[in-house]
Chain A
Amino acid sequence: QQQVKQSPQSLIVQKGGISIINCAYENTAFDYFPWYQQFPGKGPALLIAIRPDVSEKKEGRFTISFNKSAKQFSLHIMDSQPGDSATYFCAASAAGGTSYGKLTFGQGTILTVHP
């Protein structure tokens, strides 16, 4: 019930292309879905987050699409740049009780953007 499944494991795109990473969850108590970017030797850094009352959120080149009925959400990176090459994690947390703020992460996607 706590699992978040992420795909693909790795992704290679050309500069200027669109990168798409998908996640699916099972726990219907999840109500907050952030995406994190992690560079080697660094901790994860928050990119963008969404709540299930909206179907899409855009910040600059990054967009989250959310499908509540399918229990799926995805990250789209438009005009991908070599500097976007990193590992991306989706995550989720549930409202209420002691779980509030506790993040459950996907397995990660290694993105490589070729120049």
Chain B
Amino acid sequence: DTGVSQDPRHKITKRGQNVTFRCDPISEHNRLYWYRQTLGQGPEFLTYFQNEAQLEKSRLLSDRFSAERPKGSFSTLEIQRTEQGDSAMYLCASSFGQGRRGYTFGSGTRLTVV
């Protein structure tokens, strides 16, 4: 396992469509994080999981966003009824232990809503 994998790398969708992204963390990592990064800004925290439990959600995560991590392995982030303001890079990261050890980001999924 060489790192955090995200799929797809790029997604173009029409406004109003639903999209789903996948993140495969480093296998022994128990924590998984989702961040959103818009152009020219630093990543902003969205939500995180410890094993399969979703422990915190940012206010940025509107009710159109849902994240899951079944069985504590890979995670999916779904955006329903996409809006142009959802266009961003969605980054996944994973870590182990209490949360800071081995903190590794994936290369992200670039979403463009047209």
Question: Which residues of A line the B interface, CB within 8 A?
Answer: 6, 32, 34, 36, 41-46, 89, 91, 93, 98-108
| B42 on the A face (CB < 8 A) | yes
Interchain CB contact under 8 A, B4 and A32 = no
| B91 on the A face (CB < 8 A) | yes
The B interface, classified by DSSP as helix, strand, loop or mixed, is: strand
Complex Cα distance A64/B105, Å? Answer: 21
| B16 on the A face (CB < 8 A) | no
The A interface, classified by DSSP as helix, strand, loop or mixed, is: mixed
Nearest 5 pairs between A and B by C-beta? A101-B99, A105-B42, A43-B105, A100-B99, A98-B56
| B40 on the A face (CB < 8 A) | yes
Q: Which residue of A lies closest to B106 (CB)?
A: A43
Question: Which residues of B line the A interface, CB within 8 A?
Answer: 4, 31, 33, 35, 40-45, 48, 55-56, 91, 93, 95, 98-100, 103-108
Smallest CB separation, B40 vs chain A (Å): 7
Smallest CB separation, A46 vs chain B (Å): 6
Complex Cα distance A34/B44, Å? Answer: 15
Interchain CB contact under 8 A, A102 and B56 = yes
Smallest CB separation, A108 vs chain B (Å): 5
**Contact among B4, B42, B55, B106 for A106, CB-based, below 8 A:** B42
Of B45, B48, B108, most buried by chain A (CB within 10 Å of CB) is B45
Interchain CB contact under 8 A, A93 and B43 = no
**Contact among A34, A45, A107 for B41, CB-based, below 8 A:** A107
State whether A105 and B44 are in contact (beta carbons under 8 Å apart), knowing that A93-B100, A98-B56 are contacts in the complex.
yes
Interchain CB contact under 8 A, B43 and A44 = yes
Interchain CB contact under 8 A, B106 and A101 = no
Contacts of B45 in A (CB 8 A): 102-104
Q: Which residue of B lies closest to A103 (CB)?
A: B45
Complex Cα distance A22/B48, Å? Answer: 28
Contacts of A41 in B (CB 8 A): 107
Interchain CB contact under 8 A, A44 and B105 = yes
Interchain CB contact under 8 A, B42 and A101 = no
Q: Which residue of A lies closest to B44 (CB)?
A: A105
Q: A98-B55, A101-B33, A102-B48 are in contact. List 19 more A-B contacts (CB 8 A).
A: A32-B100, A42-B107, A43-B91, A43-B93, A44-B105, A45-B105, A46-B103, A99-B56, A100-B98, A101-B95, A101-B98, A101-B100, A103-B33, A103-B103, A104-B45, A105-B43, A107-B40, A107-B41, A108-B41
